[in-house]
Amino acid sequence: MASDRGLFVTFEGGEGAGKSTQIRRLAASLERAGETVVVTREPGGSPGAEAVRHVLLSGAAEPFGTRMEAILFAAARNDHVEEVIRPALERGDIVLCDRFADSSRVYQGVTGNLPSAFIELLQHVAINGVNPDCTLILDIPAEVGLARARKRGSDLAAAPDRFEKEKLETHEKRREGFLDIAAREPDRCHVIDALDAENVIAAQIERIVLSQIAARA
Ligand code: TYD
């Protein structure tokens, strides 16, 4: 367990899998049940990490290479862990985090071609013992996810970020990367079919998280 008291839940998956919608729904239903919930995201989630977020997503760090980007993601993660996540867990809150270390394993490791030993070393420093209790991997074919993300982008008149704009094949490799992590860590990871209806997904996620809360008690 990440903490004796709180519960740390991370959401992972490719672009357009519907993580933010599901996080919003889960937070609302847990709050209705009387839980204190902290919703946060990466890269970012604390003032220090938000400062690094723009450098990463704008592509400003891209010319310096994937090692540099991986280290920046880790620096942001450590600030987020120490400033927001650890204190919340120590208070006994439920933390719902949109992306965490598995995104670095997949985006910087699998598709950034960085050795997994290097990525794991960075995560060791960044996470500093605050491991997710439960990770929900929203699985979607890359083509469908990207189409959804593009639609969202055009709704908001926003350009795709540095990672969204990579080619389809790269996004498919990421999907496989998340599924590999789930296969290696079946106790922590739950794969959710993100093609299911929003309500069906929400009910499934709620069931998983409520059982974790019951186990914690
Ligand atoms: P964002 O728009 O916040 O999120 P999402 O795609 O989840 O809606 O974009 C975050 C981007 O940063 C996303 O493309 C994944 C990428 N990323 C990494 O490459 N490594 C990481 O460690 C994290 C946390 C994110």
Instruction: Please determine, looking at this structure, whether the domain spanning 7-216 carries the CATH number 3.40.50.300.
Output: yes
CA-CA distance, 209 to 151, in Å (whole number)? Answer: 30
The domains of the chain are located at 7-216
- pTM score above 0.75: yes
**167-196 per-position pLDDT tens digit:** 999 999 999 999 999 999 999 999 999 999
Residue 45 falls in which region: left (phi positive, over 0), alpha (psi -120 to 50) or beta: left
pLDDT-flagged residues of the chain (< 50): 1-3
For a mutational test of ligand 1's pocket, the pick from 50, 69, 99, i.e. the residue with the most ligand atoms closer than 8 A to its C-beta, is 99
CB burial of 118-140 (b: ≥16 within 10 Å; e: otherwise) equals ebeebbeebbeebbbbbbbbbbb
20, 107, 156 from 8: Cα distances, Å: 16, 22, 30
Residue 20: how many CA atoms within 13 Å on its side-chain side? Answer: 7
CA of 37 to the centre of ligand 1 (A): 22
Looking from the CA of residue 100, the nearest atom of ligand 1 is 24
CA of 34 to the centre of ligand 1 (A): 30
pLDDT of 2: 46
